[in-house]
Amino acid sequence: MQKSKLVFFLCLLTVIGCARDKAGTGITVAGSTSVQPFADKWAEVYMDEHPDQVVNIQGGGSSAGIQAAKSGACNIGTSSRELKPDEKDLTEIVVARDGLAIIVHTSNRIDNLTIEQVKGIFTGKIRNWREIGGNDKLITVVTREEGSGTRGAFQELVMKKDRVAKSAIVQDSNGTVREIVAGDPNAIGYISLGLVNNKVRALKLNGVPATDENIISKKYKLVRPFLFVTKGEPTPVCREFIDFVQSAEGQKLVSEEGLIPVK
């Protein structure tokens, strides 16, 4: 009786092991949590059309994704910020562009800020909404964690050399930043434009609303690339997936999901 149980258990393990093995033979795409939901969509449609292919999408963050592509832990790394000089030895492919929206609570009276004002708020120089024409309330600044691709892009596009104030609240995903801003009338944060919903409001920057048209015409300045990176040239299997992502069909998914197509 005991023995038969053991045998059964071992069989089960073998079956599980084999099943995992099979899933492991596809392409692994890992990295930016901002790219992840869109990569999931691409993978879903791609696998429908190529039933023999398996594409695994994983998160982990931009820096981790780039690192994984470098070390070979994944086939394609994804990044939601530009590569740093020491990462430039990888092959980079821009698969989409994404606007960075500065978001506030829907009840906030402010609807336009200059990039300088945004910078002032995030460095802690501007502390009260009154200073920029709003209500007499302290500003709750919400930022992303160190190492985040979204924070990296924000740093590069808005803050330049200056630091985000230490007193800022730190959240570790686009979703939680949005959740906090949605629940706090005094909050300001930044998230991927594709993830702005009706619970928060995206501000105009220098008088330009954050819309797809304004990003394409380059009037709206806070734009970052979504990158696929590979070590050396992509392998034929990866190439096929990347071609699909860059094809008209793949790019159509991009705009359906709220991003800006590259072509």
Partner 1 sequence: MQLKKKKEKLLEWLFLFFAFLSNILLVGIIIILFKESLPLFKEIKVLDFLLGRHWYPTYDPAEFGILPLILGSLWVTIGSLLVAVPLGLGAAIYISEIASTSLKEILKPVVEVLAGIPSVVLGFFGMVVIAPFLQEVFKLPTGLNALNGSILLGIMAIPTITSISEDCLSSVPRGFKEASYALGANRWETMIKVTVPAAFSGISSAVILGMGRAIGETMTVLMVAGGSAVIPHSFLQPVRTMTATIAAEMGETAIGSEHYYALFGIAVVLFILTLIFNIIADLVAQRFRKRIV
In the complex, the residues that contact partner 1 under the rule CB under 8 A are 59-64, 66-67, 71, 137-140, 145-149, 152, 163, 166-172, 176, 179-180, 183-184, 186-187
Give least dist CB 255 to partner 1, A: 27
User: CA-to-CA distance for 195 and 101, rounded, in angstroms?
Assistant: 9
- What is the smallest separation between the CB atom of 249 and partner 1, expressed in angstroms? 31
- In the bound complex, what is the minimum distance in angstroms from residue 67's beta carbon to partner 1? 4
Q: For residues 67 and 214, which CB has a smaller minimum distance to partner 1 in the complex?
A: 67
Closest to partner 1 by CB, 70 or 219: 70
Q: Supply the minimum distance, in Å, between the C-beta of residue 164 and partner 1.
A: 9
Q: Which is nearer to partner 1, 73 or 262 (CB)?
A: 73
Nearer to partner 1, 57 or 66 (CB): 66
For the bound state, the minimum distance from the C-beta of residue 78 to partner 1, rounded and expressed in Å, comes to 13
Q: Smallest gap, in angstroms, from Cβ of residue 215 to partner 1?
A: 25
8 A C-beta contact, residue 96 and residue 223:
no
The residue written with tokens 């879903």 in the block is 44
Report yes or no: 126 and 117 within 8 Å, Cβ to Cβ. yes
Q: How far is CA 8 from the centre of its chain?
A: 44
The 3-state DSSP composition of the chain as helix, strand, coil percent (nearest 5) reads 40, 25, 35
Task: Output 62 or 75, the one with its CB closest to partner 1.
Answer: 62
122 with 112: CB under 8 angstroms? no
Q: What is the DSSP string of 210-238?
A: --HHHHHTT-S--EEEEEEEESSSPPHHH
- Judge contact between 93 and 82, C-beta under 8 A: no
Q: Please, which residue, 20 or 160, has the CB nearer to partner 1? A: 160
